[in-house]
Amino acid sequence: MGPADLAQIALELPPEERLDLARRLVESVVAPASLNEAIAEGIRRIEDLASGRVKGLTEEEFLATLK
């Protein structure tokens, strides 16, 4: 079974299981501690959005922050 097959199987998982798998894969990558912390923070933020704990910005709201 190759990477494409694994990816297809992973994409068929429910969202919570995909998030858990993504977290475990990212955590398995050897990286400097500061990068690991940044990745962990990114994962926490994605989980907050996916769970509904945090409401994301609309495209319009995001673009307004750039002005």
What average pLDDT does this structure show over 34-61?
88
Enclosing domain of residue 61:
3-65
Return the H-helix or E-strand segment holding 16. Answer: helix 15-27
* Closest to 43 (Cα-Cα) out of 19, 62, 9, 63: 19
Residue 67 — very low, low, confident or very high, per pLDDT cuts 50/70/90?
confident
Give the DSSP H/E element, type plus range, for residue 6: helix 3-11
Mean pLDDT of the chain: 88
**What's the one-letter identity of residue 42?**
G
Confidence label for 31 from pLDDT (cuts 50, 70 and 90): low
How many domains does the chain divide into? 1
Which residues, 6+ apart, have CB-to-CB distance to 55 below 8 Å? none
- Per the structure block, which two tokens stand in for 62? 């995001």
Calpha distance 37→31 (Å, rounded): 10
Task: Tell me the whole-structure pTM to 2 decimals.
Answer: 0.47
Q: Indicate whether 55 pLDDT > 70.
A: yes
